[in-house]
Homo-oligomer: A and B are copies of this chain.
Amino acid sequence: MALTEEQQADIKAQSSQQLYTKRPISPGLEEMLYQAFPVLDHGFVRVVDYMGNDSAIVQAARVSYGTGTKKVSEDRGLIRYLMRHYHTTPFEMCEIKFHVKLPIFVARQWIRHRTASVNEYSARYSIMDREFYIPEPRVLAMQSKVNHQGRGEVLSADQSEAVLSLLRNDAQKCYDDYEKMLRNPEENGFGLARELARMNLTLNSYSQWYWKINLHNLFHFLQLRIDSHAQYEIRVYAEVMLKTVRAWVPLACEAFEDYRKGAVTFSSTMMNVIGKLLNGQSVDQADSGLSKREWTEMMQILDHYKS
């Protein structure tokens, strides 16, 4: 992980500041604030600000439900009820801001979530750092035979070394030439505009951004990106972020992990099959109303929970 000395000094200063506020705080997240959690070889995630906590969710829900529900539920029960029944607006009342360093091909996936605010390091204004994502051999895998967007078996040690050396050399050569294009003619370069030179960089170059999002939309992001079908290189970011969310809003995060992250959804046709199975009837694919693909997907899930 490559934080500049200046950044490290900033983090140290921020982490030790103690200010008074009348705002609600999250003791768990205060502990983690500003710390850079390493991800991949040079990336990181750090929380730079937040608004609200579990109580802010409850408070917003109580505005909606007014005196009608005041006595009904204590906080945990209410938060779980909101999550289970998709009453999502109270979760929008919490907000978090991350500073993330990540490879450009990961940033391209990430930015497809449109409900966040972003300030990215601009390669039109500034010069990119010489840093590229080079995978660890253990995650270098072949194209999956069964999944168009997935990975299959891991490469052998020899193959890995060959691939890594291609990645390393190409990224370095491209960066060397990027630098040469940028250098002044007096220094044997071309003084090319930054906005042009950047196009010579490879997609594993690291960028960084501030990324701010509300808790509801963050849960949606995490649900998609922590999923086993998400690409490993974005999943590891999501996993680190989930840890910070657990510290921030422990009750909401627990409800998320129960009712969203680990949840399973069945279509009405699938529910008919489950009903018959629970009645002890036997069902097969042919008369289930499900396609072969759906049948297989469903049986894998049920077998998992039966074992």
- For A52, A66, A119, A263, the residue with the greatest tally of chain B CB atoms inside 10 Å of its CB is A119
* Max chain B Cβ within 10 angstroms of own Cβ: one of A135, A177, A267: A267
Say yes or no for A221: interface residue by CB 8 A criterion: no
CB distance from A108 to the nearest CB of B (A): 7
Q: Are B18 and A23 in contact (CB under 8 A)?
A: no
A199 lies within 8 A of chain B by Cβ? yes
User: How far, in angstroms, from A16 to B22 measured CA to CA in the complex?
Assistant: 7
Which residue from chain B places its CB closest to the CB of A126 in the assembled complex?
A: B66
Knowing A148-B68, A166-B180, the reply to whether A119 touches B263 (Cβ < 8 A) is: no
Per-residue interface assignment for chain A, residues 93 to 123, with 1 indicating a CB less than 8 Å from any chain B CB and 0 otherwise: 1010101000111011001101101111110
A14 at the interface (CB under 8 A from B): yes
Q: Tell me how far the C-beta of A266 lies from the nearest C-beta in chain B, rounded to whole angstroms.
A: 5
Q: How many residues of chain A are within 8 Å of chain B by beta carbon? A: 138
A19 within 8 A of B: yes
Q: Kindly identify which residue among B63, B191, B258 contacts A120, using a CB–CB cutoff of 8 Å.
A: B63
Give residues 17-69 of A contacting B (CB, 8 Å).
17-25, 30, 33-34, 49-52, 56, 59-61, 63-69
Quote the shortest CB–CB distance from A211 to chain B (angstroms): 10
A191 contact set on B, CB distance < 8 A: 142-143
The reply on A140 being an interface residue by CB < 8 A is: yes
CB distance from A50 to the nearest CB of B (A): 7
Measured between beta carbons, the chain B residues less than 8 angstroms from A114 are 114-115
* Contact A23–B50 (Cβ < 8 Å): yes
Docked Cα-Cα span, A263 to B72, in Å, equals 28
How long is the Cα–Cα vector from A258 to B20 in the complex, in angstroms? 32
Tell me the bound Cα distance from A167 to B197 in angstroms. 9
Residue in B closest to A89 when the chains form the complex, CB atoms: B119
User: Given known contacts A51-B50, A170-B177, A263-B267, is B65 in contact with A126 (CB within 8 Å)?
Assistant: yes
CB distance from A307 to the nearest CB of B (A): 8
Contact B267 A92 (CB under 8 A): no
Check if A151 is an interface residue, CB within 8 A of chain B. yes
Least Cβ–Cβ distance between A192 and chain B, in angstroms: 6
Evaluate whether A198 and B30 lie within 8 angstroms (CB atoms) in the complex, with A125-B148, A266-B263 already known: no
Interface pairs (25), CB distance under 8 Å: A19-B25, A20-B25, A49-B52, A50-B51, A51-B51, A59-B210, A65-B126, A66-B122, A68-B126, A80-B291, A89-B112, A92-B117, A92-B212, A93-B119, A93-B210, A114-B115, A140-B196, A141-B196, A143-B191, A144-B193, A149-B194, A155-B192, A163-B190, A257-B268, A263-B266
Across the A-B interface, the 3 shortest Cβ-Cβ residue pairs: A66-B126, A262-B268, A275-B305
